[in-house]
Amino acid sequence: MKGQQQITPIQLSMLFFIFLTGSAVIVIPAPLIGNAGNGAWLSLLLSFIGAIALLATVLSLHKMHPRLTFIEYSRSLVGKWLTVLIGIPFAFTQLNSTAGIVLDIGLFMTSSMLRETPLYLFNLIIFIAVAFTARGGIELFARMFPMLIITSILFITVILLLAAGHYDIEFLLPVMPDGIKPILHGTYFSFLGFPYSELVIFSMLLPFVSNQDYVSVKKGMVSALTFNGIYLVAVTICALLVFGPIAGDRPYSTYEVARVTRFDILIGYSLITTSYMKAVITFYILYMTIVHLLKVKDPNVLIFPLALICFLFSLIQLSLGHARWGEHVTVAEPLLKLCSYIIPLIFIAIIAYFKKNKKRAAAT
């Protein structure tokens, strides 16, 4: 499949920015402010530093194995069965994330715009769109998504500028009224949970770059991560400027900012569009993970059954209730991603480092 589907380093960087920003620009301010209060933006800065370290690890492994995905070079480094042991929670967490992204779209629509519409109907429609887009391949959505993310970011920026008349700088102070612990709590959520720990799974897409220009890939991904960090900090600060600490009590505080300007339809469009794009990318990574883990000969047969499984899993998450789902996102999901993404990445990086040094010593 890698021989048939290729993208440029610029397209990869755009997909990386979309993947990190996605629904986070709408969803993350409220729970982050709820955890960290006025210091939510400091939590994002700390998380950004950790994200740079994670990205450096992913890129160093890619430099050592430029034509292989995370699953493929894990197999070459630690063997088949240990890779399966790593790959099962790796894939399950991607399944959980894909279902959760789509569930967030439905919860937003049924709680703010279309209250009488069944939630499962939104989930079904989005998953059908996700499946057909993923079936078109990475070349298709790498060309399609940049225009969508540009319009979404433009709309959100316009909303934040229009809301400037409602900003109160005093809402940003004091930054740490309860000390450093809330800041660290917010960092725990935004780094281990959403969105920065998820950049690990982007290692499944790096081999699709056409010319394997490592320098261009590195510069593009670092730039995308930097712009993402700046934008998330800006959106979070704007939510604080309008609502203060009570922004954490509003499930979609960016949408509430838009309601103040009476242009909330633009935020609705942006949330649906960015969440759809992030769902497609996450679903495609899940698809590639299973294909490489099981060595499937005809990968296309997996697309629609996998989409059905994700849809059913979203219904299971829905059955837990809105409150339990919120608790899962803020408490359980960071631990799940720590064990499924970050620890396996560090383990594989250590093995790769020692094997590289061993080969170098043997050569000398």
Residues 331-364 pLDDT 10s: 889 999 999 999 999 999 999 999 988 887 777 6
Q: Helix 9-21 vs helix 264-294: angle between axes, to the nearest 10 degrees?
A: 120
CB 240, CB 70: distance < 8 Å: no
Phi, psi for residue 235 in degrees, rounded to 5: -65, -40
**Res 4: pLDDT:** 61
Q: Is the pLDDT at 167 greater than 90, yes or no?
A: yes
Please give the CATH number for the structural domain made up of 9-354.
1.20.1740.10
**Res 2: pLDDT:** 43
Q: Of 199, 191, 205, give the one whose Cα is nearest residue 225.
A: 199
Whole-number mean pLDDT of the chain? 91
Q: How confident is the model at residue 252 (pLDDT cuts 50, 70, 90)?
A: confident
Q: What's this model's pTM, rounded to 2 decimal places?
A: 0.95
| Identity of the amino acid at 81 | W
CA distances, 66 to each of 53, 70, 131, 205, 219 (Å): 19, 10, 28, 11, 16
| Identity of the amino acid at 141 | F
**Res 267: pLDDT:** 86
**Res 74: pLDDT:** 96
| Mean pLDDT in residue range 56-70 | 94
Q: Is the pLDDT at 14 greater than 50, yes or no?
A: yes
Query: What are the pLDDT digits (tens) for 255-312?
Result: 889 888 888 888 888 988 999 999 999 999 999 999 999 988 888 899 999 999 999 9
Q: Of 182, 180, 184, 160, give the one whose Cα is nearest residue 240.
A: 160
Q: What is the rounded radius of gyration, in angstroms, for the C-alpha atoms of the chain?
A: 20
CA distances, 108 to each of 101, 194, 256, 275, 320 (Å): 11, 17, 12, 11, 17
16-349-3 Cα angle (round to 5): 50
Q: If you write DSSP's letter for every residue of 231-293 in order, what string do you get?
A: HHHHHHHHHHHHHGGGGGGSTTHHHHHHHHHT-HHHHHHHHHHHHHHHHHHHHHHHHHHHHHH
